[in-house]
Amino acid sequence: MALAKAINESLRRALEADPKVLVMGEDVGKLGGVFRVTDGLQKDFGDERVIDTPLAESGIVGTAIGLALRGYRPVVEIQFDGFVFPAYDQIVTQLAKMHARSLGKVKLPVVVRIPYGGGIGAVEHHSESPEALFAHVAGLKVVSPSNASDAYWMMQQAIQSDDPVIYFEPKRRYWDKGEVATDAIPGPLHRARVVREGTDLTLAAYGPMVKLCQEAADAAAEEGKSLEVLDLRSISPLDFDTVQASVERTRRLVVVHEAPVFLGSGAEIAARITERCFYHLEAPVLRVGGYHAPYPPARLEEEYLPGLDRVLDAVDRALAY
Amino acid sequence: MTVDSSATRKPRRSAAGKAGTTGSKAGSAGPQRTARATRAGAQESTEPQLVQLLTPGGERVENAENAAYEPYVAAITPEELRGLYRDMVLTRRFDAEATALQRQGELGLWASLLGQEAAQIGSGRATREDDYVFPTYREHGVAWCRGVDPTNLLGMFRGVNNGGWDPNGNNFHLYTIVIGSQALHATGYAMGIAKDGADAAVIAYFGDGASSQGDVAEAFTFSAVYNAPVVFFCQNNQWAISEPTEKQSRVPLYQRARGFGFPGVRVDGNDVLACLAVTRWALERARNGEGPTLVEAYTYRMGAHTTSDDPTRYRHDDERAAWEAKDPILRLRRYLEASNHADDGFFAELESESEALGKRVREVVRAMPDPDHLAIFENVYADGHALVDEERAQFAAYQASFADAEAEGV
């Protein structure tokens, strides 16, 4: 099942299971979303459950907060990463803080779905990775699946969570297929996963970069290097225990994400792992990611995005210590 | 203001039924400009059109123009009128105590409602128990009407919490500091009421400055599109900190509703009876499935924006003096006295009650304990978060280290 279809099936399951679950956003109804992630849901659940909204991102999130206060569990779609900023105020100043401000009396089980990241040749504001901006805000949980199975189960868990969850969907992986065991019992939403074991170095990534890191590990294996690959899955909270355990085995760590490196999630991982594993490390924690520049026009995005060579270059540098 | 001046106005001209005929911009802006031009003098005859049932002199206004709202207060009893008066007096007393407590250093900040008692008590008393209220941060009178203990409002201003009451306890949401955000929460909540098939309604409060915010415009859009049972109650107190309403809009604020496809009404915000009637009308529309309404309560913030503000830098004393003549409490007292609905005993008893409230507020505020240090980490998440757990443990250990050192006599 394709990753996008897995999310669709997960939303369908949630809509069937709980009449309080709503799907809201621009074009999510008749069109099924610009990526067809919500395809067919309005047809089956009606426009009172799968709601086409006005073109107003702050309005989408702000009304979702009100609906959650009334007992609903809205899953809202922000059409593209760069369009979330009109809603950023509602997410940061309201959605994230209302539980604390009410001393726990109010719960806001709102899921904000954001297709994110580049690699699809889009115009500006359609390829960004703003996850660190959300992970920095207490009160929000931030996750990003890398494969169809996780996309399915993490959506189930995000909807069931009583906390607001920012659910970043790797849009360039929407069409990647994978097995989804819909009757399985998933692991915890925020636990990282070792997707490939290795002994020489750990590659840590999430969302669209997990597949790249697996490819890098394949390439490195041909050169006799054994790389471990972690799928972090969750950016807030971040499962440092799994990263630490891996680094204590491999003694080297490279973090890979599409977002700009400066003050990004890789910086946090590098700092914490250095603190936790200082005497285990054979090399500084290195980061591979975007530059401190606006996301470039499509003809340049291959230069901007981490690719196989940049990841392998960082691996070589770490191994050279 | 004279009865005649009000009688020449057509308060429902902007109602939905007539919204199809768009008035000229110049015509819409006219009354507002006229009012501004004479702000200092505040000539009664140049007041913008508004619904008024009680003149500043305490006389009842009954005419064809406000006839649509009369039924909503036609059956009001002397006891209910005395209740509205009591609400306004006690709310003003509470507000004065809070201002004094800020000056004494007991509160970090206070946002006074002085002058806006009628707008808040009239609209607040129009709500039903199962309605839901989304305030901004100055709705102390509305909170009073909803049964929220007023001392609960002081916690956030004293700095012991960021809220202080259970929103679902009285269907009165927490104060919202970011201007206009709550208009969307109110709209979403109202959409939920409609989905539930309930007949309750929602009322969202905001000020004239908030009317410029995108969130308020988006709330208008969503509420209109989904026909949400919500009343937008804009207290136009003339000043958004230092900026007059002209810096927010070229047209009277109530006319904004027309462009979104629902009615807007301007009411005399210093007339508690008119505020009660118009809000009851608007809430009834909402409950009947007729969708949103914008009520602009035309009033005046008599004090500063907050205790940190200095209104002498941007407005004249004579403007305040002109509005003092339209005091909401005084005008109802005049009416109560003229109609023999209240005697000296009532006013004396209320004075005692007011004193007692002031005393209780002072005592409760001074006795408010500082929160436990670990409260920083409480309720950040409903389901918990590993980072919060880790930092809480670190902080607790750090705090404990002082106790250990003290025990060892270091």
Mean pLDDT of chain A: 97
The predicted model scores a pTM of: 0.92
Which of helix, strand or coil describes residue B333? helix
Encode pLDDT of B326-347 as tens digits. Answer: 999 999 999 999 999 999 999 9
Measure the CA–CA gap between B201 and A192, rounded to whole angstroms. Answer: 45
Query: Rounded to a whole number, what is the distance in Å from the CA of A317 to chain B's nearest CA?
Result: 31
Read off the amino acid at residue B168.
Answer: N
The whole-angstrom distance between B308's CA and the closest CA on chain A is 23
Which pLDDT value is given to residue B409?
75
Residues of B in contact with A66 (CB under 8 A): 184-192
Question: Which pLDDT score is estimated for B47?
Answer: 57
Query: With an 8 Å Cβ cutoff, are B383 and A69 in contact?
Result: no
**Is B221 in Cβ contact with A56 (below 8 Å)?**
yes
**Main-chain dihedrals φ then ψ at residue B339, nearest 5 degrees:** -95, 5
CA pair distance B389, A3, nearest whole angstrom: 33
Per-residue pLDDT, B410: 65
Q: What are phi and psi of A304, to 5 degrees?
A: -80, -40
- pLDDT value at position B25? 31
Residue with tokens 């069931």: A160
ipTM: 0.96
Which among A122, A146, A168, A319 is positioned nearest to A232, based on CA atoms?
A146
Lowest mean pLDDT: which of A33-47, A73-87, B54-68? B54-68
Catalytic (active-site) positions of B: 301, 305, 314
**How far is residue B325's CA from residue B321's CA, in Å, rounded to a whole number?**
7
Q: List the single best residue of B195, B230, B392 to mutate versus A (max A Cβ within 10 A).
A: B195
**Apex CA B48: angle with CA B42 and CA B50, to 5°?**
120
pLDDT in tens, A81-130: 999 999 999 999 999 999 999 999 999 999 999 999 999 999 999 999 99
Check CB contact of B193 with chain A, cutoff 8 Å.
yes
**Does A104 contact B388 at a Cβ distance shorter than 8 Å?**
no
- Percent of chain A with pLDDT strictly greater than 70: 100
Best mutation target among B191, B221, B378 (most A Cβ atoms within 10 Å) is B191
Cα dist. A187→A152, A153, A156 in Å?
12, 9, 12
**Among B266, B273, B276, residue whose Cα is nearest residue B333:** B273
**CA of B187, closest CA in chain A: separation in Å?**
6
Count of pairs with CB atoms under 8 A, one residue in A, one in B: 142
Cβ neighbours of residue B405 closer than 8 Å, sequence gap 6 or more: none
Assess whether pLDDT exceeds 70 at residue B12.
no
- pLDDT digit string (tens) for B189-220? 999 999 999 999 999 999 999 999 999 999 99
Q: In terms of DSSP bridges, do strands A227-231 and A193-196 run parallel, antiparallel, or are they unpaired? A: antiparallel
pLDDT band at A287 (very low <50, low <70, confident <90, very high): very high
Per-residue model confidence (pLDDT) at position B184? 98
SS3 letters across B212-262:
HCHHHHHHHHHHHHCCCCEEEEEEECCEECCEEHHHCCCCCHHHHHHHHCC
Is B383 close to A104, i.e. CB distance below 8 A? no
B177, pLDDT greater than 60: yes
- Portion of chain A with pLDDT greater than 90, in percent: 99
Contact B181 A94 (CB under 8 A): yes
Contact A100 B380 (CB under 8 A): yes
pLDDT of residue A184: 87
Residue A112 contacts residue A91 (beta carbons within 8 Å): yes
Question: In chain B, whose CA is at the least distance from the CA of A58?
Answer: B215
pLDDT score for B7: 34
In the block, residue with structure tokens 């099942």: A1
Task: Work out the pLDDT band at B27, boundaries 50, 70, 90.
Answer: very low
The answer to whether residue B188 neighbours chain A at the CB level (below 8 Å) is yes
Q: What is the mean pLDDT of residues B371-385?
A: 95
Q: Is A125 annotated in the active site? A: no
Q: Do B387 and A236 touch (CB under 8 A)?
A: yes
